[in-house]
Amino acid sequence: MSNPIFLIIQREFLSRVRKKSFILVTLIVPVAFAALIFAPGLLASMPEDSKRIIVLDEPSLLLPHEGKEQYAIEYLDPRETNLELAKTSFRDSEYDALLYIPSGSNWDPDFIKNNVLLFGKEDPSMELQGYLDYLLEQQIDKAKLLKNGVDPEIIAQIKTNVTIQSFTLDDEGNDEQSAVPIKMALGYFTGLLIYIFIFFYAVQVMRGVMEEKSSRIVEVIISSVRPYQLMMGKIIGIGLVGVVQFAIWIGLSGIFYTVISTVFFPELFAEHAAAGNAAAKIPGLDVIDMLRSIDFITISFGFLFYFFGGYFLYSALFAAVGSAVDQEADTQQFMLPVTIPMILALTTTMSVVQEPNGTLAFWMSMIPLTSPITMMARLPFGIPLWEVFLSGAILVATFFIVVGLAGKIYRVGILMYGKKVTWKELFKWLKY
Amino acid sequence: MITAKKVSKEYSAKLALDGVDLSIPKGSIYGLLGPNGAGKTSFIRIMNQITAPDKGEVYFGSELLQPRDIARIGYLPEERGLYKKMKVGEQVLYLARLKGLTTNEARSKAKEWFERLEMSGWWDKKVEDLSKGMAQKVQFVTTVLHEPELLIFDEPFTGFDPINTNLIKGEIQRLNENGATVIFSTHRMESVEEICNHIGLIDNGTVMIEGNLLDIRKHYKDGTFAFTTRTVIDDWGGHEVFLQREDPMGYLTVLKAAEFPKELVISLSQKGELVAFEEVLPTVNDIFIEIVKNGPKPWNHE
């Protein structure tokens, strides 16, 4: 007789992979990812829903800017009109807003700054207001400087922007351009992904356990297999669903990216890439060099290891939670304490990537309930190997202990109906 | 088939089973009876190896119960159900394969059963699309498909509609005639009285009485006799009459007699009054109440 655990894995896997929702999620996620990558570029390149503004600029404050604005601006001649007249003509015109800059008695910038008025046919957008604020502030600053006898050119020259080029010096004395910002982003992003994926799949394990319990099939099954086999079969089966989903996502993302970038928007992509490069091209820093300093192989293996380690650990805990309750609503009291370490790990990720070798980062990447996220966030920075192995070993060891304990709770819980279970009770079950 | 020796099981300081000795003869239809919470389900779960006893042993045949024996047992739990989203056919095959059948064996046997119970069209339906009665039939098929030597039904007739109950009683009897040992566990003792030939009465985790049902009922007979007469009879020869009422066939009189009331039977027949006469054996329910009240009646080996 073949080991029934394989049958269970097979059923858990196939019953999920064949679901419509699986196919849907699997297809939508890469599309959403592609959309996330391309949408900002697309939006930026879309022609503005251009607003048209009339400006009555008594002090001629904006005059040097004429014609360069993001908005179609029509300047009224202050010698020929006043606010009342401008308002009347604005009401009948097709313009969207009327900006009034008064000159006051003596063009005092402080008077002007407090008395600028904006009229709109509907509420003027934040974006428009922000833009006008910025524009006016700039001009008023200049006016003030001039008034105090300072040349704005000098101020512009005085402004300093320091760019430090950092290098990591390895044992052989080679220096590599360090890529701290990219590493931080990568660490944060992969840590977040681990968090999302662990939750996503571990919750499916919990749901599966609850489904078997509430549909009452569980007793039939465990009269054929050990409860432990059923639990492990479910965890492994859903883990495999995760593997397949990952593989499809990676493949599809690649295809989408290539297709969209080369077929649909070749010019946009070229622009986008150029813009990206330009932004990253802080003088003296080479993106290619920076990327070369990141050990992608370690990160990829680390990602797989910490995903599965974290997933197995948490799904065992979630399976125990699912077995202990009758309805989804009752899971809250157990879910919260179980997930707090994960949330903690996620919220500290920002500090961890800022100081990847700090005490907080070290301990959080050793504690098995937080290490999948925290260690993942640290990996791009090149962590001493012994730390990685130690954290991995602790994670695996904890998994075996937790699975044993979760299995005990599970064994009792799946046959317990109509009882509001407390924490005290769960601990008692461990001793059954 | 199953022999339990001094089996005890404790759940959080409550003794569910307290030194249970039971023996379930091969080929019998065995009623495992007792009120709710008596320990029936605990014992069944031990037979199914869902839990292990704290103390004592359970033998399957002549050997200790072993993990591989689960393939020889078919179990219909009291709390039953199926995967709602799974197709009927797949589900039946899956459960049969968990019991150790190959896919092909399982498929051919399932087809036979589906035809037999007139459910051939259901193979590709999802369980959630079946009516309750239909799902019960599927559940029954999954219990018996792997041709187990021992069939265990926990509260089998709660939740089954009357038509299915009859159908399934018939099927169970057929399986029993073909050699399967059957255990019915229920707190509704009257519901299995007619089909069981052995019973074990459990209360508070201990076995009150066990054995051949007929023997037990004979043992507990208390000299109750029922006469049906054409007219009302007043003279019952000094016997204690405790029930007299009109009956579709005439008048029913129930009385107690220390010995077989031969004189009464003869005289009533001679008068042409006697329509029916029987000795009333106590029901399992009566026996149970009697035992709970007064303790088991000692067997006097004659």
pLDDT digits (tens, 9 = 90+) for B169-185: 899 999 999 999 999 99
Partner-chain residue, chosen from B71, B75, B86, that has the shortest CB–CB distance to A220: B75
CA-to-CA separations, A21 to A28, A64, B23, in angstroms, rounded: 10, 58, 51
pLDDT surpasses 70 at A168: no
Q: Which of A223, A417, A428 sits opposite B48 (nearest CB)?
A: A223
Q: Which amino acid is at A305?
A: F
Interface with B, mutate which of A219, A225, A229 (most B CBs under 10 A): A219
Residues with Cβ within 8 Å of residue A252, at least 6 apart in sequence: A26, A27, A30
Q: What percent of chain B has pLDDT over 90?
A: 37
pLDDT tops 90 at residue B92:
yes
pLDDT tens-digit profile of A238-293?
Answer: 999 998 988 888 888 778 777 766 766 665 555 545 544 444 444 444 555 666 66
Q: Strand B63-64 to strand B55-60: parallel, antiparallel, or no bridges (unpaired)?
A: antiparallel
| CA distance readout (Å), A414 to A71, A134, B73, B141, B190 | 65, 63, 21, 23, 31
Please give the distance of CA A389 from its chain centroid, rounded to a whole number: 28
Express each pLDDT in A222-242 by its tens digit. 888 888 899 999 999 999 999
pLDDT at B110 over 60: yes
**Separation of CA A112 from chain center:** 42
Q: Is A428 at the interface with chain B, CB within 8 A?
A: yes
Q: What is the mean pLDDT of residues A181-198?
A: 87
Instruction: Calculate mean pLDDT across residues B262-275.
Output: 88
Contact B43, B156 (CB under 8 A): no
Distance, CA of B15 to chain centre: 24
Interface confidence (ipTM) of the complex: 0.81
Residues 214-253 of A with CB under 8 A from B: 215-217, 219-225, 227
Rounded to whole angstroms, the Cα distance separating A432 from A392 reads 31
Q: Considering only the beta carbons, identify the residue of B11, B48, B82 that sits closest to A215.
A: B82
| The domain made up of A52-158 is a member of CATH 3.60.10.10 | no
pTM above 0.90, yes or no: no
**Chain A residue whose CA is closest to B142:** A220
Q: In this complex, do B79 and A219 lie within 8 Å of one another by their Cβ atoms?
A: yes
Nearest chain B residue to A416 by CA: give it.
Answer: B79
Q: Which residues pair with B189 in a beta bridge?
A: none
Q: Which residues make up the CATH 3.40.190.10 domain(s) of chain A?
A: 52-158
Residues on chain B bordering chain A, Cβ-to-Cβ distance under 8 angstroms: 11-12, 45, 48-50, 68, 70-71, 73, 75-77, 79-86, 94-95, 97-100, 142
Instruction: Say yes or no for a CB contact (<8 Å) between A219 and B80.
Output: yes
Q: Is the Cβ of A18 closer than 8 Å to some Cβ of chain B?
A: no
pLDDT at A340 (0 to 100)? 92
Tell me the per-residue pLDDT of B53-62, one tens digit each, with 9 for 90 and over: 999 999 998 8
What is residue B149's predicted lDDT score, i.e. its pLDDT? 94
Distance CA B262, CA B264 (A): 6
CA-wise closest residue to B276 among B294, B297, B253, B302: B253
Q: How confident is the model at residue A150 (pLDDT cuts 50, 70, 90)?
A: confident
Between A181 and B223, residue with greater pLDDT: B223
- Give the pLDDT score at B168: 87
pLDDT at B25: 93
Q: What is the average pLDDT value for chain A, to the nearest integer?
A: 81
Q: What is the DSSP string of A104-165?
A: TTT--HHHHHHH-EEEESSPPPHHHHHHHHHHHHHHHHHHHHHHTT--HHHHHHH-------
Tens of pLDDT, residues A51-103: 778 888 887 777 666 555 567 777 887 777 888 888 888 888 888 888 888 87
Domains of chain B plus CATH, in order, are 2-213 (3.40.50.300), 222-280 (3.30.70)
Given a contact cutoff of 8 angstroms between Cβ atoms, the answer to whether B229 and B249 are in contact is no
Dist CA B185 CA B177 (whole Å): 19
Rounded mean pLDDT, A201-211: 92
The residue-averaged pLDDT of B231-256 equals: 87
Query: Residue B221: what residue type?
Result: K
Per CB-CB distance under 8 Å, the chain A contacts of B65 are none
